[in-house]
């Protein structure tokens, strides 16, 4: 009986160790640092790499790590019946032009989906919601703001009865924009839609992974959760 072929390691063509690559991607995506900031911090630790290497590694491995994190989370949450989503959109400047970043956040503050469009109409909302529903399943309730594009899209999808609209009920989604805004300022804006979509998706999943809600738990519990998250990060794509 032939042996089952093991998948090839994504690190096989790189001279650096997987631990160093994971550290570089984590530092660049998780913290509001520039490419050269990461290069300088690593040099202090005895790791001499160029800032262009940091760019190449996060472009190559960031989506792989984010996909692994998202797959594990989706498999855990699909059977959760009391799932409530919060949808919201914010503008992002792209070469001086305004585009829109749509977000879906669950009741725990976990970012489910990030989607970039040039418009904020029914077609954009419909594409965003179809993508989110296909990947994560169907929630019990969907909370939105007063944007009428949500209602039009949900009428077409046939789940308009799940929509809830409230002025202060959508703070989960509103607060989820803050870490991305801090990261956006450090990167001095974005230049291409493709890069913005990739970074928004990777940043959302890495933020979910390391967000331990330290203001809600005691110090000991936070340290245990932080250690567990870091250990799980070190095992990604192993």
Query: Residues 49-82: pLDDT tens digits?
Result: 999 999 999 999 999 999 888 887 776 666 666 7
Q: State residue 170's pLDDT score.
A: 76
In a domain, 60, yes or no: yes
Distance CA(190)–CA(148), nearest Å, equals: 28
Do 84 and 54 belong together in one domain? no
pTM of the model: 0.85
Residue 7 maps to a domain: no
In this structure, what CATH number is given to the domain that contains residue 182? 3.30.420.10
| Cβ within 8 Å of residue 15, ≥6 positions away | none
Residue 228 sits in which domain range?
18-76+212-234
228 with 178, same domain: the answer is no
- pLDDT per position as a tens digit, 199-219: 999 999 999 899 887 778 889
Query: Contact at 8 Å (CB) between 29 and 206?
Result: yes
Q: Give, for 225, the enclosing helix (H) or strand (E).
A: helix 219-234
In whole angstroms, what separates CA 152 from the centre of its chain?
A: 26
**Domain check: are 84 and 178 in the same one?**
yes
Distance CA 26, CA 201 (A): 14
Residues 111 and 139 in one domain: yes
102 and 120 housed in the same domain = yes
Residue 175's pLDDT is 83
**Residues 140/83, Cβ–Cβ less than 8 Å:** yes
Clarify whether residues 219 and 131 are in a common domain.
no
Helix (H) or strand (E) holding 64: helix 51-77
Please check whether residues 99 and 150 belong to one and the same domain. Answer: yes
197 falls within a domain: no
Same domain, 163 and 186: yes
Least confident of 90-94, 135-139, 154-158: 135-139
DSSP notation for 35-63: HHHHHHHHHHTT----HHHHHHHHHHHHH
Residue 13 lies in a domain: no
User: Considering its fold, how many domains does the chain have in total?
Assistant: 2
| Shared domain check, 141 and 126 | yes
On the CB side of 157, how many CA atoms lie within 13 Å of its CA?
A: 25
Smallest CA-to-CA distance from 10 within 74, 72, 63 is with 63
Are 46 and 32 in a shared domain? yes
Question: How does DSSP classify residue 10?
Answer: T
Same domain, 62 and 161: no
In a domain, 4, yes or no: no
Same domain, 141 and 87: yes
Q: Which two tokens stand for residue 191?
A: 């230049």
């Amino acid at each position: 009986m032939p042996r089952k072929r093991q998948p090839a390691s994504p690190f096989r063509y790189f001279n650096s160790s997987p631990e160093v690559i994971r550290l570089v991607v984590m530092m660049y995506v998780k913290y509001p640092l520039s490419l050269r900031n990461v290069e300088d911090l690593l040099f202090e630790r005895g790791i001499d790499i160029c800032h262009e290497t940091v760019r190449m590694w996060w472009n190559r491995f960031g989506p792989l790590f984010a996909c692994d994190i998202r797959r594990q989370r989706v498999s855990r949450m699909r059977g959760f019946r009391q799932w409530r989503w919060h949808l919201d959109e914010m503008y992002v400047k792209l070469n001086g032009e305004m585009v829109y970043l749509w977000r879906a956040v669950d009741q725990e503050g976990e970012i489910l989906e990030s989607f970039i469009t040039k418009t904020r109409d029914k077609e954009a909302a419909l594409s965003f919601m179809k993508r989110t529903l296909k990947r994560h399943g169907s929630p019990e309730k969907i909370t939105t703001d007063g944007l009428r594009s949500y209602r039009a899209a949900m009428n077409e999808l046939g789940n308009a009865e799940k929509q809830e609209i409230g002025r202060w009920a959508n703070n989960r989604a509103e607060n989820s924009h803050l870490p991305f805004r801090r990261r956006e300022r450090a990167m001095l804006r974005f230049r291409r839609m493709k890069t913005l979509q990739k970074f928004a998706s990777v940043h959302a999943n890495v933020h979910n992974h390391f967000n331990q809600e330290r203001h809600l738990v005691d110090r000991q519990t936070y340290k245990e959760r932080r250690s567990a998250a870091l250990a799980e990060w070190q095992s990604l794509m192993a």
